[in-house]
Amino acid sequence: MTPYLLIKVSWVIGAILGLIPLGSTMGLAQWVVLNTVTIGMALVGIALALALARPAGMRLPAAPLLLCGWLGTGFLVSMLPYAVISSLVTPPADAQPDKGASAPVWEAVLIQVSFVGMGLGLAVALPAYLRRRWPLPFTGRVGDHAHPHPAGPGAEQGGPRPASGGLVAAGTALGACWLYWAAGGTAGLADPAERNTDWRLLVALFAVWSLAGSAAAWATANGRPARVPRWLPTALVWLGSGSMFAWSAWKLPFTAYTAVAGRAADSVMPENLGVAAAVHVAALATGAAMLRTLVRTYASPAAE
């Protein structure tokens, strides 16, 4: 993430000094605020990388480390398939519309290297770290009856804590909505003409992760298929819930800003703003609830 961090710092300083043309898409204050937020995110990413790689990271408090790891994988690991597929199917003119000032090619390359590199690093380092510190979700099979942390009367019988059927249904409904849009459906879209290959691919990927996370949550709750390794649904719930929460948390403020500031020509999105806001709020709630269920399923006094 270091190249990304340095580029973003140079953008903020350059804009304040009047050295970078901002184009017509946003003013100076908006530019500085947005890029300052991403500078903070890059710093958190670098700190997370060090925590996962250095021995001292094993002694860090669980909650902030798990939260940052979950958001990081939701943002970046879930997008690794997109990075590969978009380079093959997205026409350059479709993927990089001409809107205001554009970055030099070398900056775009370094930013992509930062994102893909951090995503690949998290895909390797985070599971290795979690397996060392909390091995239970990575051992055994889905159908194993031993439960790590009985909760309530009768819980000593074992078996995973059942996930809410409504939670699984919500994730499935979100996935179906995104899949419908990716397949060409127009209900809920205010400007269908604004759809392009890049947008369709992103929406399809959101659908895949939401549906995979919902299926994995059902499998964990019901103990089926019994012979599936436990780490597989654990990883899918982690990635599916993280993708839903992280990207909706990022998109919701932009949706709200567009609703307040008006739909200028350079900020038009295909979705109806009200529908988009409802989808993002539902994805936030569903993703957070999925993570809570996963953590509670494998929580134990020894984990701390």
| Closest to 112 (Cα-Cα) out of 136, 88, 92, 87 | 87
Looking at per-residue pLDDT, the higher value among 2 and 146 belongs to 2
Report the percent of the chain where pLDDT is more than 90.
Answer: 54
Q: Burial-class residue 104 by CB neighbours within 10 Å (0-12, 13-18, 19+).
A: exposed
Question: Which whole number is the average pLDDT over 14-20?
Answer: 87
10 Å Cβ neighbour count for 93?
9
Q: What is the pLDDT of residues 183-211, one digit of tens each?
A: 999 999 988 888 888 899 999 999 999 99
Q: 265 falls in which pLDDT band (50, 70, 90)?
A: very low
Q: Do residues 217 and 290 lie in contact, with contact meaning Cβ atoms separated by under 8 Å?
A: yes
- The mean pLDDT value for 272-283 works out to 94
> What is the structure's pLDDT at 25?
64
Among 219-223, 239-243, 266-270, the range scoring the smallest mean pLDDT is 266-270
Which helix (DSSP H) or strand (DSSP E) does residue 254 occupy?
helix 231-261
Among 88-97, 232-241, 256-265, the range scoring the smallest mean pLDDT is: 88-97
Instruction: Kindly tell me if the per-residue pLDDT of 297 is higher than 50.
Output: yes
pLDDT of residue 129: 95
pLDDT for 275 beyond 90: yes
What's the whole-model pTM score? Answer: 0.84
Is 302 a residue whose pLDDT tops 50? Answer: no
Residue 157: the pLDDT is 41
Q: Which of these, 120, 115, 283, 302, lies nearest to 203 by C-alpha position?
A: 283
Could you give the dihedral angle defined by the CA atoms of residues 134, 115, 286 and 181, in that order, rounded to the nearest 10 degrees? -140
Q: Compute the distance between CA of residue 115 and CA of residue 42 in angstroms, rounded to an integer.
A: 10
Q: How much is the mean pLDDT over the chain? A: 84
